[in-house]
Structure 1
Amino acid sequence: MISLTKRQMDILKQLLGQADYINVKQLAELYEVSERTIRYDLDFIESFLKEYDVTLIRKPGKGIYLEISPEKTSRIINELLQLNHYVVTKKDLIYMLSIQILLEQNTTLESLGETFQISKNRVFQYMENVEELFNQYGVKVEKKPSRGISPVGNELDIRNAFASLFNEAITLSALSKQYIFQQFDEELLHLSKRFTKDFENHLSIQFSDDSLDELYLILCFQHTRLQRGYIADYPFVEKKEFLKTKDFQQLKEIYQSIFHITLEDDEVVYLLKQVKGAKVSVYPIGDVPFSKQEDAYQITYLFATEVEKRLGINFKQDLEFMNGLMVHLQVALHRLFNHQKIENPLTEQVKYKYRFIFEITRKALLKIEELYHFQLPEEEIAYIAMHLGASYERHSFSGYMPTALVVCGSGLATSSLLATRLKIMLPELKAFGPISMSNLDQYMDQEFDFIISTVPLTIKDYEVVVVNPLLEPEELMTLKKLVFKKTYQKQMDELIRTELPLKDYHELGDLIPMNHIQLHGDVDSWRNAIRLASQSLIENGFITNQYTHAMIRAVEELGPYMVFIPEVAIVHASSKEGVLKDGASLLALDKPIPFGDSEKVMVQLIFVICSTMSESDLFIQLVQILEENNNLEILKSSKRIQEILKLNNETAR
């Protein structure tokens, strides 16, 4: 078996997901290596694929393409998940060592070296990195000749470190879920699944697939710690609110019936906190799982009131929105106040594709954050924006749906948005679900034509169409010959007409200084256009080259969604990708150029926006100016920078 490096594996995954040719230059830019290195990597990939009887097509002038069947694609993806098919990187090994130390409690350098088939000296070299990871969660690494290596700290910190590290490792693709599951006994894993299923039945809910996996691992680790005599301990004032609840007693009884162990009260509280922090994908309409939280209800009501002022829609009448957001907020508030990290893999996509919905959500939440004295992370704002976007689209479109089973492995917000997008884009299709993968068997006796899933599935006698929860353009083209961009444009046009969140008067010169504006630009590609537009921001210390790479990568991965005003690209990326100061720049080209690889959208004006935080109003202020009267035509035809500095949102006066 040919071994692949991490980069070669990533390139192969990229090729497996490509619907068309991609050239060596694009791959070199994407992975920030030379074209010669990419060709060298492709030689290894080609040898690797021969073992699967798959041809790597390399055509001069066109690029690289995989000639492969869906069955072989699925097989190779599954194979790549196994760690022994590529060289373990330093990052991978650090996470593997960290999790192993937590699992074993007492181990040695020799034992760790033997487990991972590396030298004792190499383990020693990486221990400093392991200690840095542990320190983030308040856990120390104790090294004693008599006891070896042990994690030391508060029991709750140690458990939090385990949960955080395996989530972080999976998110960074350092480890697979399969690898972590394999560290536990199969019978223990089976009992954990039984417990979770019984608790779901008790509450008449379904946890999302991601949350189920997380709960299984947390249960296994809790049981392992209990077997070694390590018990969680909470102050009485913190646990008293749980002790007399029905859920507390029911959880304790379910655990005892399955594991044949009577949990201490503190351990029941620990477990109840974990299930309350898990994302829910299905819940009884009109009911909120667990004890009803007044804060979640009040925030939902206040948020619905605030966005109604901006969009003119009575969202409080949308029970699906109100109940869904209330359930989500109950989980989110629990995680927020218990210092559990909120992760949203769709944050950047929501900010790009639903920028106005995101901004409306952000501004509506400002008053709520001030009232409740907390600050929501971008990831949570994006989740709430997904709920709002789903409700907004239900009010904006209608249609009956015929027959497909929708399987969604993520949480309630993602499921809700996916279901709504399908209703909008495929009005002739009736969708059953969304359901989680764990409940798929229960629906196999239903009559439906095919399956739409957010995760790869192989179901006998059924075609499975794998989609992103936000439905990428190529996925929509597969389901129906409908261009996503036109629908997106329709939504954005309506939002721009109805949403006026900022009424202050602004001139273009207030937003973009003269030395950040370039006219008469001449470039040969959209990538070079972004680089040229970013140049003044880099030279003046607003961003680093990392931000430029991130913007280019966003267009490659998401398509030209930032082109929602004709011939204008408002390009941006995450504030975490090399933003030093808030700012903006403008590049005006002499003639339009194609923007993006897959869709030939023409662009003449390229704006780059950088913000150190998500709270910037610059995006909306800029759009208001661009939407005003003849400002766009003036920008395209101007010969001198002074002519455009006074362009403004005149109606705000």
Structure 2
Amino acid sequence: MNLQPVKFKLTPWKEVISGIIGYFPGKMVILEKFWQKMEFQFSFPQGERDSRHDTKNLPQRLKRFGIYPREARVYNETNKEWTGGKMTLLTKRQRDILALLIKEEEYVTVKQIAARFGIAERTVRYDLRWIECWLRENGSGLLKTAGCAGTIDRSAQDFDAERFREALNDIHHRALSAAERRFTILLYLFLEPEAITLRQIAERLNVCKNTVVSDMDAVDGQLAQAGLRLERKIHYGFSLAGAETAIRGFYIRTVLDGLARNLISEAHLLVWLKAASPGQLSAIIDEVESELRVEYSDSAKKELYISLLVAAHRVLNGRLLPDGPEDGEREDGYRQLDRLYDTWAAGHRIAMPRGELAYIRQIFRGAKLANDRNDIGDPAASDAETMLLCQQMIDDARCYLGLDLQNDLELVHGLRTHLKIAVHRLRHNLSVSNPLTDQVKFQMPFFFEMSKKIIAKYEGRIGAAVPDDETAYIAMYFGAAFERSLCSGFMPTALVVCGGGVATSGLLITRLKVMLPEIKLIGPVPAEKIAATLAGTAVDFIIATAPVKGLGKEVVRVNPLLENDDLTRIKTLIFRNSSRKQLQYLSDRNLREAEERWELGELIPREALNLNVECKNWQQAIRCCGQPLLEQGAITEQYVEAMIKAVLDYGPYMVIIPEIALAHAAPEKGVRRECLSLITLRQPLQFGEKNKEWVRIVIVFGARNHQPEQLHRLVKILEQPGNIERIKEAAAHDQIMRLSNR
């Protein structure tokens, strides 16, 4: 369908809500809200145009009011020109729905889509009308039946689902979100050889200048954090200013983040960077690996690949690095790198100066290794330096963990290799990116804070501040060593209850030992001996082949043949119990006052403790629990949303004590002071979107660092026999405020 914009009369009121109105078959009128405005656009099917409406001067009149239609021309990034006619743009949600329809070859109902994306069915039907327009413009359509959303018309001979996916990934085919616009603006600033004006950006993004002005303020803040600045010149436009190495490092991180967040596809990135023969760059990386006898990690290979493209593009735009002193004798692998990259660049008519080749060598020296088959790398003096740094950091960790990890060869070798590369990257201002940083902060807060304090002691020696991404890597090394050192003490003990014969019980025990060798097993015993066994043996949970009473222990019922679902449920219990034991150990290490007594009322004020709260879902439960802390000003609304996002991203990992959710997020997400709140639920709720866990108690805690002392104290109270049940059953505050760690 061709949508044709038509003129309409604008009201004289300044408070007018502007919007897009589209006329579709069936006389359907649609309103779409954008940027706190509404943009109006009449559109008619072919042959139904009303002669009373005139399109003359419409674009100019609309732009005066900051109004742009959701039909756009296509900006060709290669030719730097607008091509083709108008096309319908889709929002991110609409693109996600279309991606689902492309993936599912069968009919999908409106109800299924609404449940999948958490929106109303009415909203789904609205989105489907835009999707149908987009499909018709791209040579397809939407097949519908009564009660169904439909499926994509795949009847055309040239139908190609991959072509649709590529079109959806093209930035210029989207109604961009704020994050997408700002990412695209950063790319424009980096890739343009000259300055770029507000008008040029607005036209390419199909938004008004006021929107771009707002985005530029946010972009300026991002650049400032990276030590860069945005230069504004009247009648000239915007350009970047800062050290060239800093600019490249920032954009390598930005591009990697954009790829990870699906803000741009790799195919379209290659178009933007004018990259030809990208396969040759991958071959260069492979050959350097072979020459140096190392294996780069997958993430490092992607970073090296982007770095080579970025360097070539900057040279092409005349943004050169100065020639520095030669870096001494180079290994054969790096000489091969110089030759291969110089040959690739020459084939694309790019002359690589000496400073550029030296920069590429620095990038490769700082790449993260998956395997190092020799000692090729830094000189012996640098290796001795990193070995000393490694030993000192491991000694520091002993003070926090109470463990001597110097004999953990896996830790010593891994941390030493990592520090050698990390110190090189930090000293040469090379970008550091860790996709697991937020997850480490969320799931390993103690180790992150410990590593942060340890590495801070050596920043002067390193000569650079250590970012959180690097700290998270170090925390992962210490966390893994901690689990290896005490794995036998933290691994749970399970009682196996089987009422079958010898063959059945023998098969179950054998399969458990083969598939879950880390778990300690007792039994098998018949159901009538459960009580006697629990009386004399410490057991964490019970694995049973028939319904049994657990006498206060969690029970997981399994098929004697151990199906996949059975293993998943057992692994969940293993993770929960081992995590709880780790938390208890670290709480004991953190709280030195062995004789001190404290009560629940000292940790959680009465106004932050609510009993028998009625909540519809786990999201509402987190919000209800966090509300008193919001009112006190201890946390921000951003922190509450970050806690919910953490559950969506990482699952119910905070349920490490049965039926208790310890909800939290990273301190920088909005913690103003250390705080605790608690609610009990009238009815249990399942937490998480997958691998759901039943919860009766929700605790929200916030800490200015990643070592919340109040939480450690609360854990000691919960450890006391009977305290958790008393909290669950409490009907009044006075029944639990005096609960203590004694």
TM-score (norm 2): 0.62
Give, as a single letter, the amino acid of the residue that structure 1 aligns with 2:422: A
1:107-506 equivalence runs, <5 A: 109=197, 112=200, 116=204, 128-129=216-217, 134-136=223-225, 137-141=227-231, 143=233, 150-187=239-276, 189-233=278-322, 242-244=327-329, 246=331, 251-256=337-342, 258-259=344-345, 264-284=353-373, 287=375, 289-291=377-379, 292-307=382-397, 315-340=405-430, 342-352=432-442, 354-355=443-444, 358-360=445-447, 362-363=449-450, 366-373=453-460, 376-391=466-481, 481=568, 483-496=570-583, 498-499=585-586, 500-505=588-593, 506=598
Q: What is the aligned partner in structure 2 of residue 404 from structure 1? A: none
In the alignment, the residues of structure 2 paired with residue 301 and residue 539 of structure 1 have an alpha-carbon distance, to the nearest angstrom, of 47
After TM superposition, give the deviation of residue 585 of structure 1 in Å. 0.5
Q: What is the aligned partner in structure 2 of residue 86 from structure 1? A: 174
Distance 1:38 1:609, change over 3 A: farther
| Deviations, residues 104-157 of structure 1 (Å, cap 9, x unaligned) | 312654994699385996897578456565555424436476x77654444334
CA contact (8 A) 1:22 1:65 kept: no
Aligned residue pairs, count = 560
In the alignment, the residues of structure 2 paired with residue 497 and residue 541 of structure 1 have an alpha-carbon distance, to the nearest angstrom, of 29
Give, as a single letter, the amino acid of the residue that structure 1 aligns with 2:188: Q
Structure 1 residues 203-212 or 42-51, which shifts more?
42-51
CA contact (8 A) 2:284 2:340 kept: yes
| Deviations, residues 148-199 of structure 1 (Å, cap 9, x unaligned) | 7654444334433433442344455433333222223444645533433332
In the alignment, the residues of structure 2 paired with residue 593 and residue 631 of structure 1 have an alpha-carbon distance, to the nearest angstrom, of 20
In the alignment, the residues of structure 2 paired with residue 626 and residue 516 of structure 1 have an alpha-carbon distance, to the nearest angstrom, of 17
Distance 1:109 1:251, change over 3 A: same
CA contact (8 A) 1:205 1:289 kept: no
Of 8, 14, 37, the residue aligned with 2:94 is: 8
Give, as a single letter, the amino acid of the residue that structure 2 aligns with 1:578: G
In the alignment, the residues of structure 1 paired with residue 430 and residue 146 of structure 2 have an alpha-carbon distance, to the nearest angstrom, of 46
Q: Does 2:702 match 1:620?
A: no
Distance 1:54 1:203, change over 3 A: farther
CA contact (8 A) 1:568 1:604 kept: yes
In the alignment, the residues of structure 2 paired with residue 306 and residue 590 of structure 1 have an alpha-carbon distance, to the nearest angstrom, of 46
| Deviations, residues 570-600 of structure 1 (Å, cap 9, x unaligned) | 1112334333333110112345333334445
Q: What SS does structure 2 have at the residue aligned with 1:281?
A: strand
Q: What SS does structure 1 have at the residue aligned with 2:272?
A: coil
CA contact (8 A) 1:307 1:360 kept: no
CA contact (8 A) 2:246 2:429 kept: no
| Deviations, residues 421-478 of structure 1 (Å, cap 9, x unaligned) | xxx99679xxxxxxxxxxxxxxxxxxxxxxxxxxxxxxxxxxxxxxxxxxxxxxx958
Q: What SS does structure 1 have at the residue aligned with 2:654?
A: coil
CA contact (8 A) 1:551 1:573 kept: yes
CA contact (8 A) 2:401 2:589 kept: no
In the alignment, the residues of structure 2 paired with residue 515 and residue 16 of structure 1 have an alpha-carbon distance, to the nearest angstrom, of 51
Give, as a single letter, the amino acid of the residue that structure 2 aligns with 1:160: G
In the alignment, the residues of structure 2 paired with residue 541 and residue 56 of structure 1 have an alpha-carbon distance, to the nearest angstrom, of 52
In the alignment, the residues of structure 1 paired with residue 570 and residue 368 of structure 2 have an alpha-carbon distance, to the nearest angstrom, of 32
In the alignment, the residues of structure 1 paired with residue 243 and residue 319 of structure 2 have an alpha-carbon distance, to the nearest angstrom, of 10
Q: What is the aligned partner in structure 1 of residue 687 from structure 2? A: 595
Identity of aligned residues (%): 26
In the alignment, the residues of structure 2 paired with residue 610 and residue 193 of structure 1 have an alpha-carbon distance, to the nearest angstrom, of 45
CA contact (8 A) 2:676 2:711 kept: no
After TM superposition, give the deviation of residue 311 of structure 1 in Å. 6.0
In the alignment, the residues of structure 1 paired with residue 628 and residue 413 of structure 2 have an alpha-carbon distance, to the nearest angstrom, of 47
Distance 1:573 1:41, change over 3 A: farther
CA contact (8 A) 2:338 2:357 kept: yes
CA contact (8 A) 2:671 2:704 kept: yes
Q: What is the aligned partner in structure 2 of residue 537 from structure 1? A: 629
In the alignment, the residues of structure 2 paired with residue 34 and residue 613 of structure 1 have an alpha-carbon distance, to the nearest angstrom, of 39
In the alignment, the residues of structure 2 paired with residue 170 and residue 120 of structure 1 have an alpha-carbon distance, to the nearest angstrom, of 26
Distance 1:84 1:568, change over 3 A: same
Q: What is the aligned partner in structure 1 of residue 493 from structure 2? A: none
Structure 1 residues 579-588 or 170-179, which shifts more?
170-179
CA contact (8 A) 1:289 1:327 kept: no
Distance 1:361 1:108, change over 3 A: closer
In the alignment, the residues of structure 1 paired with residue 639 and residue 253 of structure 2 have an alpha-carbon distance, to the nearest angstrom, of 27
Give, as a single letter, the amino acid of the residue that structure 2 aligns with 1:557: D
After TM superposition, give the deviation of residue 484 of structure 1 in Å. 3.8
In the alignment, the residues of structure 2 paired with residue 74 and residue 166 of structure 1 have an alpha-carbon distance, to the nearest angstrom, of 23
Q: What is the aligned partner in structure 2 of residue 99 from structure 1? A: 187
| Deviations, residues 360-391 of structure 1 (Å, cap 9, x unaligned) | 45325524433545765443343233334445
After TM superposition, give the deviation of residue 3 of structure 1 in Å. 4.7
CA contact (8 A) 1:589 1:605 kept: yes
In the alignment, the residues of structure 1 paired with residue 664 and residue 233 of structure 2 have an alpha-carbon distance, to the nearest angstrom, of 46
In the alignment, the residues of structure 2 paired with residue 89 and residue 592 of structure 1 have an alpha-carbon distance, to the nearest angstrom, of 37
Task: Select the structure of larger CA radius of gyration.
Answer: 2
Give, as a single letter, the amino acid of the residue that structure 1 aligns with 2:252: A
Q: Does 2:672 match 1:580?
A: yes
CA contact (8 A) 1:105 1:150 kept: no
Bigger relative contact order (CA 8 A; separation at least 6): 1
Q: What is the aligned partner in structure 2 of residue 644 from structure 1? A: 736
After TM superposition, give the deviation of residue 214 of structure 1 in Å. 2.7
Structure 1 residues 547-556 or 102-111, which shifts more?
102-111
Q: Does 2:644 match 1:556?
A: no
In structure 1, the gaps of 5 or more residues are 399-423, 429-475
Give, as a single letter, the amino acid of the residue that structure 2 aligns with 1:344: N
After TM superposition, give the deviation of residue 565 of structure 1 in Å. 0.5
CA contact (8 A) 2:449 2:705 kept: no
1:11-90 equivalence runs, <5 A: 24=114, 27-28=117-118, 36-37=122-123, 40-41=126-127, 80-83=168-171, 86-90=174-178
Q: Does 2:726 match 1:631?
A: no
CA contact (8 A) 2:97 2:113 kept: no
CA RMSD, 1 decimal: 4.8
Q: What SS does structure 2 have at the residue aligned with 1:182?
A: helix
Normalized per residue, which structure has more helix? 1
Q: What is the aligned partner in structure 1 of residue 700 from structure 2? A: 608
In the alignment, the residues of structure 1 paired with residue 207 and residue 716 of structure 2 have an alpha-carbon distance, to the nearest angstrom, of 61
After TM superposition, give the deviation of residue 607 of structure 1 in Å. 0.3
Q: What SS does structure 1 have at the residue aligned with 2:248?
A: helix
Q: What SS does structure 1 have at the residue aligned with 2:667?
A: coil
Distance 1:66 1:621, change over 3 A: farther
Give, as a single letter, the amino acid of the residue that structure 1 aligns with 2:657: I
| Deviations, residues 260-286 of structure 1 (Å, cap 9, x unaligned) | 5886554344223322333323332x6
Distance 1:504 1:55, change over 3 A: farther
